[in-house]
Amino acid sequence: MSEARVWPAEADLDLGWMKQRGEWGMKATPSKQGLTLADIQIGSYGDPVDRSDNQTGRPRGAAARPNSYRIGGYAVVNKSEIWLENASFLYEEALQRQWSSATDVPWHTIKPLRDDIEQAQCQLATFLTEVEFVAGDVPARWISNTTPDYFEPRQCLLAQVMDESRHMDVFRKRALANGGGLMLTSGGTAGVVGSIDLARDFTEMSSRLHISGEGAVLTIFRMGELMAYNDAEKAIYRLCAQDEARHVAFGVMHMRYMHETAPERHEEIQCYLDEAERQILAGSQNPAGNQTDASEALAILLGGGKDKYDDGLNKLLAIRKRQVQEYIKRVRSTGFGARFDNGRSQLTEMLNQAAA
């Protein structure tokens, strides 16, 4: 027979933790969407400080423990550096719209294609696999650099890393799903990646990745119907586009927050946009675009084969123009659109010349 367990006397218990708490008496109420991050932004728990000294991983609102170890070397400690107003909404949307590249793409609809079409699909899939690796790898480095007091944007970036890993595997799967395979690595991502990865500030990185880079990819995904040859490819572009739109929205809303709260950084941000637009112009001035191999593959897909390359190139040039138009629209929505009216941006001149 086992012996009865003896509990220590109440006097021996250290219940000091019961008195060390944040704001007590908070009760979060679920909304129509369930209990969301927005629903728990109540009392002092929902009000992040403008500058954080939290280097211990302490959850926002929890009582500090004076003898805690420093577990992070958080460099992003100012709210304006990473904040956006709708981070909670974007995170909840990311959770609700997760999909599986294994089961949500009708792979059985892929049938044998002409060699030039299949090679173009595989070349584009190879390029997009590279692109999506960058789009997940770079934001991931900023997550661990951000104080946990700003957990809402961190959650969004964590969701983006998951999205991009799924995009990376879905394009790899497409390259291997129809008797083709991975093609020539573009090599052209090096300059773009270097520009993004060497960013010294989160806003600098976001302006290049979310506003410019992912914005351009979003336009391609939205035009996926034009270069898809089966329902599987249509589903891939549609599902990737819904994720990419969320990532672009993150960048737009962060830039808008910076415009409203950090006027001292306006000129600095304009310089980031100058650099992004120089890269856009460099690609637009070459009819084949910056990424020669990927652009040729796109033209073949859009035209319907190598023998219809010129038709495809005309469609590709229309897509390039749309990329610029959508970029301008995004920047205007951030509050930095005056650059297109006061002559600072070269993109409006390019569009005017194209329309003439």
Count other Cβ atoms within 10 Å, centred on residue 110.
19
Between CA 277 and CA 136 the distance in angstroms is: 22
Angle ∠(338,246,183) on CA atoms, nearest 5:
105
Between CA 20 and CA 63 the distance in angstroms is: 6
pLDDT at position 18, please? 83
User: Virtual CA dihedral for 260, 261, 263, 269, nearest 10 degrees?
Assistant: -80
What residue has token string 């409203």? 260
Between CA 54 and CA 148 the distance in angstroms is: 8
Q: Which two tokens stand for residue 119?
A: 């090679």
User: Virtual CA dihedral for 141, 145, 151, 157, nearest 10 degrees?
Assistant: -10
pLDDT at position 296, please? 93
- Please provide residue 122's backbone torsions phi and psi, each rounded to the nearest 5 degrees: -70, -35
Between CA 268 and CA 208 the distance in angstroms is: 13
pLDDT at position 346, please? 85
pLDDT at position 152, please? 96
Using alpha carbons, select from 25, 31, 41, 121 the residue that is nearest to residue 83. 41
| Pair 204, 276: CB distance under 8 Å | no
Residues in the chain where the model's pLDDT stays below 70: 1-11, 187-195, 197, 283-291, 351, 353-356
Using alpha carbons, select from 142, 158, 48 the residue that is nearest to residue 95. 158
Between CA 350 and CA 345 the distance in angstroms is: 10
Q: Which two tokens stand for residue 200?
A: 């010294």
Using alpha carbons, select from 180, 312, 163 the residue that is nearest to residue 242. 163
Between CA 164 and CA 137 the distance in angstroms is: 9
Query: What are the structural domain ranges in the chain?
Result: 79-355
Angle ∠(96,97,101) on CA atoms, nearest 5:
135
Helix residue spans in 182-308 (DSSP H): 189-197, 202-206, 214-222, 224-227, 231-261, 266-284, 292-303
**CATH annotation of 79-355:** 1.10.620.20
Cα→Cα distances 317→131, 281, 323, 353, Å: 20, 13, 10, 14
Between CA 306 and CA 123 the distance in angstroms is: 14
Angle ∠(151,139,92) on CA atoms, nearest 5:
45
pLDDT at position 288, please? 44
pLDDT at position 1, please? 55
What digits encode the pLDDT tens for the residues 101-126? 999 999 999 999 999 999 999 999 99
| CA 122 to the chain's CA centroid | 24
Query: pTM of the predicted model, to two decimals?
Result: 0.90
Residue 112: CA count within 13 A, CB half-sphere: 3
pLDDT at position 64, please? 86
Angle ∠(119,121,126) on CA atoms, nearest 5:
95
Between CA 330 and CA 215 the distance in angstroms is: 9
What digits encode the pLDDT tens for the residues 313-346? 999 999 999 999 999 999 999 999 999 999 999 8
